[in-house]
Amino acid sequence: MMTRRIFIISQHGYGLGHLSRSSALAAALQSCGDYEVTLFSGGQPIAAYIPPKKVDFVQLPPTRFITLTETKTLACESMDDDKSIEQVDELRSEIIMRYFHRLKPSAVITEYYPFAPERFGKTLDALLSASREEKSRCKMICSIRSVPIDATLASPMDVNHLLHKYYDHVLHHADKRLFSIDSLGDYVRLALDSVPCTQTGFICQHLPVQTADIRNDGGLLLSVGGGRDGYTYLQSWIEALKSVSIDNFFPVTVLCGPLMPASEVNELRTLIDERFNLYTTLVDTGELMRKACAVVSMSGYNTINEVLHIGKPLLAFPRKGYLEQEMHVRSYFEKGLLLSGEEADSTDQIADLMRQLASFNPSFTPDFNGSESSVDVISSILGNTETSDISGQV
């Protein structure tokens, strides 16, 4: 059978979850032997990031999120002072289309689009039109996390229209025991109405990065993902830990993330003593999590699933105002998989939660076979398998 080309197009913003999930899916597709994968990233370049083995990686001209203060919604802006966002979108589109016409992919997977169109602007417009002109050859697949809801969303009717117009299938990377489509509310139900969709289980794989010399002696791990908005969380966790007398929590490993501003990192350094080890580089979080006795983190899809996949006790804090993270944590908490805190919790409340964390154990292990299941679904869509049944379809 001829090897087929697959494109994956991703755009990360405040954290690295979209890049991590796309990388895991790219690695699974490439390793199965039936596909050659090209992974496009439109977010801020990450110096320590290593693309999956044999996957072609293309860094598009990057954009970043800004908050529109009047509407409280998110939009993207150019990271190049000499180019407007419209010019960047046009350049990104030209790059993708050159690859499209040269490599003629059998499928294109867009991470989170069209659920959050502002992430991409007009970057994908030409690609979507071209894919339908050659529909018999190029399948369009949408990849979404467990709760596809955030501040950049279009209306559910607009999402549904785009899915019906351009897409062949949606991969919903969730365990249906935790996140059935009906449990996610009217927005998701309406957006996916009459759209072929498969719940694959969670995708869980640590972002591949260069090795860094970081010491972890098995204490507590504090993580804020990419770190762009993690300062206030780490500040409150560090203060709470100063009143917690749990020996196996120390020394504490503090991961600021590669996107945290240097001024905030310096402020955190003034708060810690010799019982804390603070790092700013992007590191192999998997190895640190395996050594840690427990984890306190923000509530991105990837971080939570990485911790639970390893089976470590977890105290999670959803990002304030992010319905997706609040729903994510609430579902896990109700199923006994983690402990939950809030950004507004007092130092004493956080300290009490950390004491509970010392004896907490997750109630069961969710389905973390999302990468493998996604490969099976994609192979079925492309006709690479004999079966016409797609397990988990909703």
Q: What is the pLDDT of residue 60?
A: 96
Residue with tokens 């867009």, as numbered in its chain: 110
What pLDDT is recorded for position 388? 35
Q: At 218, is the pLDDT very low, low, confident or very high (cuts 50, 70, 90)? A: confident
| pLDDT of 285 | 73
Give the DSSP letter string of 265-306: HHHHHTT--TTEEEE-S---HHHHHHH-SEEEEE--HHHHHH
Q: What is the pLDDT of residues 162-213, one digit of tens each?
A: 999 999 999 999 999 999 999 999 999 999 999 999 999 999 875 454 545 5
Q: How many residues does the chain have?
A: 394
Over 60: is that where the pLDDT of 72 sits? no
Q: Tens digit of pLDDT for each residue in 330-364?
A: 999 999 999 999 999 999 999 999 999 999 999 98
State pTM to two decimals. Answer: 0.84
Compute the distance between CA of residue 146 and CA of residue 11 in angstroms, rounded to an integer.
Answer: 17
User: What is the rounded distance in angstroms from the CA atom of residue 199 to the CA atom of residue 120?
Assistant: 24
